[in-house]
Amino acid sequence: MSIDKENYGPLSFLIGSWVGGSGEDRAPAPDRGVELNKFREEMHFAPVAVVKNHEQILYPLRYKTTAWEKGSSEPFHEEVGYWIWDGANQQVMRCFIVPRGVNVIAGGTVASDAESFTLAAEVGCETYGICSNKFLDEEFKTIRYDLKVAQIDKNTFSYEEDTQIRIKGKEDIFHHTDKNTMSRSEQ
């Protein structure tokens, strides 16, 4: 497949493989308190066939993320999905599923030449929303997801995620945060 990177707008720089060794994760602990983890991570982005929804033309990147706590050989987090560019509507979308039973489609308006952008999803939203399995919906309900991505240079980008969770029995919303700086490992 011939790749015209310009068709991928602000996502074009992601094509390839990335590694990050300075990840920080703030998550619910087994006792429903706070757990802080340092992690390393790999991400892979590959173009797939152009998608045509009648008049809408989308340029998707299939991606996979795997993360390991520092010192561990077993992943503690994996996700698969798509990052999608809709140039006509200047929309970036990130659709992914985590094997804990959470599915997210986040989106936002982004200029085609943007080097940073934000995406969001909210539970109950019919366009950019969140769906969880029954247990998570009752015990750890994800109510909002925010993502900030910043291209630092052609071989480096950073991201910050804030997954807002309503934990059963807790009054305050829990901010499950992840951040890392990724370096290109191959194109």
pLDDT of residue 186: 75
* Amino acid in position 155: N
Three-class secondary structure of residue 28 per DSSP: strand
Query: For the segment 102-156, what is each residue's pLDDT rounded down to a tens digit?
Result: 999 999 999 999 999 999 999 999 999 999 999 999 999 999 999 999 999 999 9
Contact 103, 83 (CB under 8 A): no
Q: Residue 7 and residue 152: Cα distance in Å, rounded?
A: 21
Query: For the segment 107-119, what is each residue's pLDDT rounded down to a tens digit?
Result: 999 999 999 999 9
Cα 77 from chain centre: 12
Q: Which domains does the chain have, with CATH numbers?
A: 5-186 (2.40.128.20)
Q: Residue 142 and residue 137: Cα distance in Å, rounded?
A: 7
Query: For the segment 10-55, what is each residue's pLDDT rounded down to a tens digit?
Result: 999 999 999 999 999 999 999 999 999 999 999 999 999 999 999 9
Q: Residue 111 and residue 145: Cα distance in Å, rounded?
A: 21
What does pTM read for this prediction? 0.94
At 139, list the tokens.
């015990």
